[in-house]
Amino acid sequence: MCSENIVLIGFMGSGKSSVGRLLSKKSGRYFLDADTLIESAQGKAISSIFEKYGEEYFRELEKESARWMAECVKGSIISTGGGMPLVVERLHDIGKVVYLKLPFEKILERISPEERAKRPLFQDIEKAKNLFNLREKIYEEQAQITVNANHPLETVVDEILLKCDDI
């Protein structure tokens, strides 16, 4: 089996965790969610980390998790937080970078109030839309493969499997 990781990037709600789980099942690789790694290491939910220590502190934890993954994780599916491509310059050091591209309007349809409550940077929709506009270019720059995430989960996963012919 190829040892390169698959690194899923994209805005909050684009489907990174859902796609990662199904891709893991279909490819027989393990799945790591960077947000969950941070939450378990800190013993706190992301929203509590933001509330208690602030965003800058969270970004440092993200950078640290990225360094660890680049050094220690092989052959896995990794889902990143939506802001990781901004603070980790070379995500390619971790693995093949796959961008889940979805228009903001579709993201809004997918994100329920409960999903929004878990995401400190999605409390205000106008601010989230501005973040989305600022970040799209960065996702494009970091991506080696872009997939249209505006399809059923199975289709998105099959497109990744097709485009990453080494998994």
Ligand X SMILES: Nc1ncnc2c1ncn2[C@@H]1O[C@H](COP(=O)(O)OP(=O)(O)O)[C@@H](O)[C@H]1O
CA distances (Å), 105 to each of 15, 101, 109, 124, in order? 14, 12, 7, 14
The footprint of ligand S3P (CB under 6 A) covers 12, 16-17, 35, 46, 81-83, 119-121
- Rounded to the nearest angstrom, the gap between the alpha carbon of residue 40 and the centroid of all alpha carbons in its chain is 17
CB of 152 to ligand X, least distance (A): 6
- The nearest distance, CB 48 to ligand X, in angstroms, is 18
95 binds, among ligand X, ligand S3P, none (CB under 5 to 8 A by kind): none
HEC per residue, 10-55: CCCCCCHHHHHHHHHHHHCCCEEEHHHHHHHHHCCCHHHHHHHHCH
To ligand S3P, the closest distance from the beta carbon of 165 in angstroms equals: 27
**Do the annotations mark residue 79 as ligand-binding?**
no
The label of the residue with tokens 């099942």 reads 25
Binding partner of 120, given ligand X, ligand S3P, none, CB within 5-8 angstroms per partner class:
ligand S3P
Site for ligand X in 59-88 (CB under 6 A): 79
Measured from the CB atom, is 70 or 108 closer to ligand X?
Answer: 108
Residues tagged in the binding site annotation for ATP: 13-18, 119
